[in-house]
A and B are shown apart, each in its own frame.
Chain A
Amino acid sequence: MMRLRIPIWSRLNRPQRILLLAALLIVVLYVMTVSSGGRDGDVDLSKPPGLIKGLGGLFGGPEAVDYADLSGSCLASGAMPPDGRLVIDGSCVLDIAPRDSDLRGLKLTGIDSVQVEAPVPFSDETSSKDLEPGDEITVSIDSDGGRVTMTCRSAGFCVVSVG
């Protein structure tokens, strides 16, 4: 049987051979990792992977919007009602004052069908979401504050619960 002779190999001592093999292993693993092209496929962002959820649990969610920062036509009496329920006459706006906080959350629960239009944090865009009875969403507000517009999806009055 022919024996393969590698010229440099015979000149290396044992620790040097181990080092060379370790470097080779790293290079092979690197090539395999990069050539795989990365994982892809459909992602359901409403159900992120366990690692992301775990990190979210570790860090906790954004702090809740202070009711004192709320104003606008949705607050008929000028302040948040004690039961947290906003009665909307067709459409109304809820203004959230700026705060020195990266991100705050305003939890809304649909009692009736409502369309919620809210600013996208750290962006000049707005987006909207239809809220069905029982649905719960968190409107994210950045340090600049913003305006949330709520519109009843049926004629007349509708109700949304805050918090």
Chain B
Amino acid sequence: MERLRTPLFIVALVAAGLVVLLELGSTWFVGGALSIADTAATSADLGVEVPAGTSVQEPTGLALRYLALVDVIPLFTVGLMGAGLLLPDRITGRAQSVATLVGSIVLILTSIVLLIAAIAALILMVTLLLAFPFGTIAYLIAYGDFPRGQAAAVLSVLMFLKLAYAAFLVAAQPRFLQNKGLVALVLTSLIANLVVAFLHNLMPIVFVSILDAIAAIVLAIVAIIWGIVLLIGSIVGILTAIRATASIARDVDPSAVVGAAGRRRGWTP
């Protein structure tokens, strides 16, 4: 059997970590700047007068940060495998199921909270946009100039890192391809990138903030589904471990134990 090439595995792990860090820190790169959008002109098109020079800030969006909900799962999974390189099998074997149980519960709860936040943001945006004309102006000021180019740049770096991560993982140990769960996770992560990019480019820029919130909702739901899959897997793992321990305990011959203990205490059978 081919051995795990540790340096390549560590590179894959670092790439997966960078993906999550970049997603969590995306608000530093995307949006936040004062927009050059001419709100006064757009407002005039709507038949509404807004003072010229009204400041408009580019929205930071939700979907890029919400990608971390999905991408943290392969990082966690590979991180657990990586823990096996540092810790003895005895410890990692027992800890994996428990860590997955705790991790999946945290993921599900976090995703539910963020799902509710994204739905609330979406409702607010749609309500503002449709409350013509004063709400529409408010929408234009707060959400109307989504930094689609910056988001595409970050998404492209993420795509590169995810492909690098997948390639280095396979290069480290080709048998990872037989791990259907891990393969499905990596494919989900790549598809999530594609979905966000697709939604960002689907409609004119004025509506992209709404589509970005829809993408965030989709990502939160995907994370909840994966969280449930991991939760079930970890519960099955824990139950199997408990059964195996009980079975080993039953298989030990009680008379031999009594015999050995008795001999130590000076009894004779």
Contacts and interface: CB of A to CB of B under 8 A. Distances in A.
Interface of A: 15-16, 19, 22-23, 26-27, 29-30, 33-34, 36-41, 43, 45-46, 48-49, 51-53, 55-56, 59, 61-62, 102-103, 105, 118-123, 125-130, 137-140
B142 interface: yes
Contacts of A55: 122, 126, 210
B51 interface: yes
B50 A23 contact: no
B164 to A, nearest CB: 12
16 contacts: A15-B177, A33-B198, A37-B201, A38-B200, A38-B201, A38-B204, A38-B205, A45-B206, A49-B207, A56-B127, A62-B135, A103-B135, A118-B134, A123-B142, A127-B48, A138-B131
Interface stretch (B2-10, B17-25, B58-66, B183-191): B183-191
Interface stretch (B87-95, B155-163, B222-230, B244-252): B155-163
Kindly name the residue among B48, B163, B208 whose own CB sees the greatest number of chain A CB atoms within 10 A: B48
A108 B221 CA distance: 40
B130 A39 contact: no
A121 B50 CA distance: 13
A47 to B, nearest CB: 9
B33 interface: no
A128 B46 CA distance: 11
Interface of B: 42-43, 45-51, 54, 122-124, 126-138, 140-142, 148, 152, 155-156, 159, 163, 166, 177, 183, 187, 190-191, 193-194, 197-198, 200-208, 210
B46 A121 contact: no
A120 B50 contact: yes
A130 B183 CA distance: 59
A36 B127 contact: no
B204 to A, nearest CB: 5
B197 A52 contact: no
Contact of B203 (A15, A49, A139): A49
Nearest to A118: B134
A52 B130 contact: yes
B187 A23 contact: yes
Contacts of A27: 159, 163, 190
B196 to A, nearest CB: 10
A46 B253 CA distance: 82
B31 to A, nearest CB: 16
Nearest to B203: A39
Contacts of B46: 45-46
Given A45-B206, A52-B210, A53-B130, 12 more contacts: A34-B155, A38-B148, A40-B205, A46-B132, A49-B207, A62-B135, A103-B127, A103-B131, A105-B135, A118-B134, A126-B51, A127-B134
B177 A16 contact: yes
Contacts of B187: 19, 22-23, 26
A139 B133 CA distance: 8
B183 A19 contact: yes
A105 B135 CA distance: 9
B194 A26 contact: yes
A127 B49 contact: yes
Nearest to A15: B177
Contacts of A48: 129-130, 207
B124 A123 contact: no
A105 B205 CA distance: 26
A29 B194 contact: yes
Contacts of A123: 54, 138, 141-142
Contacts of B198: 29, 33
A44 B201 CA distance: 18
